[in-house]
Amino acid sequence: MTDGTQSEGLPADVPARAGRDAVVVGGGLAGITAALALADAGVRVTLIEGRPRLGGLAFSFQRGELTVDNGQHVYLRCCTAYRWFLDRIEGTALAPLQDRLDVPVLDVDKPEGRRLGRLRRDALPVPLHLGRSLATYPHLSLAERARVGRAALALKGLDLADPSLDAQDFGSWLTAHGQSARAIEALWDLVGVATLNAVAGDASLGLAAMVFKTGLLSEPGAADIGWAHVPLGELHDRLARKALDSAGVRTEIRTRVTSISTDENGRWIVQVPGETLEADTVVLAVAQREAHDLLPQGALDAPEKLLDITTAPILNVHVVYDRKVLDKPFFAALGTPVQWVFDRTDASGLREGQYLALSQSAAQDEIDAPVAALRERYLPELERLLPGTRGAEVKDFFVTRERTATFAPTPGVGRLRPGARTRAPGLYLAGAWTATGWPATMESAVRSGVSAADAALAALGRPRPRHLFEVEEAA
Ligand SMILES: Cc1cc2nc3c(=O)[nH]c(=O)nc-3n(C[C@H](O)[C@H](O)[C@H](O)COP(=O)(O)OP(=O)(O)OC[C@H]3O[C@@H](n4cnc5c(N)ncnc54)[C@H](O)[C@@H]3O)c2cc1C
């Protein structure tokens, strides 16, 4: 328990509150956002989270002197809702954006040894802002670079509102547009696997087109990368709690909702162990399977569709060296199983040596591998990538496994994702997996929370807070 509004179980005599009460179930980014938005509109909000902390899938934990993130998280300048969220919790300065997109890409599978390329933008308008970088990208042949340019223009021409895009897979589209296996690996998947959590062949063209159009082909700065320079828990737990407390939200952690139903007057009854909460509005901001299990009968036309939204894993491999082995904040890798490597030293509080986190998306093949096998696999790969590691001592090696990190962005997933409104008056859905038009990201989570709050406020006849993020209709 950290302050007056935070408790670890509900007091036995919680009074039923008259008037406009909302319960938000789930304290991930979607739930926190919905709670803040409703509270800012004057609704009395109780936020219920089953775990001992807020932040859901984007959290930190302690391992000795290290504060470790469960998985490296980045966002892009085009993630306007997540940026609004950072502002709202007063965390923007702790998760800054690059001034300009600059991704070092290291290929270790070259006859001449390691080769460094860069994906950078310059000051020109879209799509020329990436032209120079693409023209000099050493990991593709001249012909491949020219064909990438043509495919990018074809992608730019796709209409995201066309529902047939969702049924097609991105890999086939890329091949049909002249992209070689090498171009897919060295460019499209380099970005796509990290943002979609699937290789192109397993990803919906609609979602992939959305990511590439929004990130690379909308505004020159859209793909500038931002990431937390502090542990994620500092943002999504500590600062989020502070904002919730200031907004008057009552936050209950270590409290699991076991059922949601209505009483004879149509008021919502939210059950937690030993206690009953009453509300006019409920926002269910949990993962799709939990939402399916908690939704009252009749709330969705086809609730079983939620169970068809499958999940995809992300593995993070954490290595602490006794010395500095990397002189960049991060890089992406080719010609090795290593995908993206981040320097977490300062953020983790490590005082000596260097702490690297390897973010391995679409990790279906490795998510259950024993730590010893992963150690045997990844340490030699890091030696290939970073010569400085060869004489360095590994002080610590561990992994974090998120088996259900994201929903799988499979072709056809779009028609399974429900919007915020349900058929049950006063009951709303939120979560990165709902129909935001975005893949499973922090951006999608925040957008979903805003949409749920918007729908609830409209039904309650309350004006939306002026400073609340505006969600445009999803394509
Ligand atoms: C390893 C990893 C790396 C990622 N990398 C990125 C990245 O780089 N960029 C990016 O944008 N996104 C990334 N993501 C995705 C991002 O973290 C998620 O999309 C986002 O955090 C989901 O938020 P949410 O609120 O929708 O759901 P969740 O975070 O799943 O929140 C749901 C909450 O509901 C709670 N809950 C469930 N059932 C109950 C119940 N019955 N009662 C009370 N509470 C309940 C859960 O405990 C949980 O806290 C990554 C995810 C992982 C795991």
Instruction: Give the C-alpha separation, 22 to 38, whole Å.
Output: 8
Q: In terms of pTM, does the model score above 0.85?
A: yes
The helix/strand/coil state of 67 is strand
> Ligand 1, from 36, 51, 73: best to mutate by most atoms within 8 Å of Cβ?
73
The pLDDT-based confidence of 110 (bands split at 50, 70, 90) is: confident
Q: What is the atom index within ligand 1 of the atom nearest the CA of 31?
A: 25
Q: Which residue in 331, 362, 401 sits closest to 171, CA to CA?
A: 362
What one-letter code names the amino acid at 290?
A: E
Classify residue 440 as exposed, middle or buried by CB count within 10 Å of its CB (0-12, 13-18, 19+): buried
- Cβ atoms of residues 29 and 47 within 8 Å: no
- Cβ atoms of residues 333 and 339 within 8 Å: yes
Q: Whose CA is nearest to atom 4 of ligand 1?
A: 73
- pLDDT above 90 covers what percent of the chain? 90
pLDDT at 7: 38
Q: Which residue has the tokens 């919680």?
A: 14
The one-character DSSP state at 129 is: G
Q: Which residue in 114, 121, 115, 118 sits closest to 103, CA to CA?
A: 118
| 181 pLDDT higher than 90 | yes
pLDDT at 424: 97
Q: Say how many Å lie between the CA of residue 442 and the centre of ligand 1.
A: 8
pLDDT at 17: 36
- What is the number of other CB atoms lying within 10 angstroms of the CB of residue 404? 16
Can you name the residues that pair with 21 across neighbouring β-strands?
44
> Ligand 1, from 197, 210, 286, 315: best to mutate by most atoms within 8 Å of Cβ?
286
- What is the number of other CB atoms lying within 10 angstroms of the CB of residue 318? 20
> Tell me: the pLDDT tens digits for 21-42?
999 999 999 999 999 999 999 9
What's the whole-number mean pLDDT along residues 111-117? 87
Instruction: Give the C-alpha separation, 101 to 119, whole Å.
Output: 7
> How far from 281 is each of 98, 262, 424, CA to CA, in Å?
40, 11, 10
Instruction: Give the C-alpha separation, 296 to 366, whole Å.
Output: 37
Q: Say how many Å lie between the CA of residue 433 and the centre of ligand 1.
A: 10
The helix/strand/coil state of 405 is strand
What's the whole-number mean pLDDT along residues 74-102? 97
Full 3-state SS string of 182-228 = HHHHHHHHHHHHHHHCCCHHHCEHHHHHHHHHHHHCCCCCCCCEEEC
| 195 pLDDT higher than 60 | yes
| 351 pLDDT higher than 50 | yes
> Tell me: the pLDDT tens digits for 125-150?
888 899 889 999 999 999 999 999 99
The one-character DSSP state at 51 is: S
Instruction: Give the C-alpha separation, 429 to 449, whole Å.
Output: 8
> Tell me: the pLDDT tens digits for 228-256?
999 999 999 999 999 999 999 999 999 99
Six-digit token pair at 228? 């937390």
Angle of the 80-88 helix axis to the 442-460 helix axis, nearest 10: 70
Q: Which residues line ligand 1 (CB under 6 A)?
A: 25-31, 48-51, 56-58, 70-71, 73-75, 256-257, 285-287, 290, 314, 316, 402, 405-406, 431-432, 440-445
> Tell me: the pLDDT tens digits for 362-419?
999 999 999 999 999 999 999 999 999 999 999 999 999 999 999 999 999 999 999 9
Q: Which residue has the tokens 């696997």?
A: 193
Q: Whose CA is nearest to atom 26 of ligand 1?
A: 431
- Cβ atoms of residues 433 and 309 within 8 Å: yes
Classify residue 367 as exposed, middle or buried by CB count within 10 Å of its CB (0-12, 13-18, 19+): middle
The helix/strand/coil state of 88 is helix
Query: How far is Cα of residue 318 from the mean position of the Cα atoms in its chain?
Result: 19
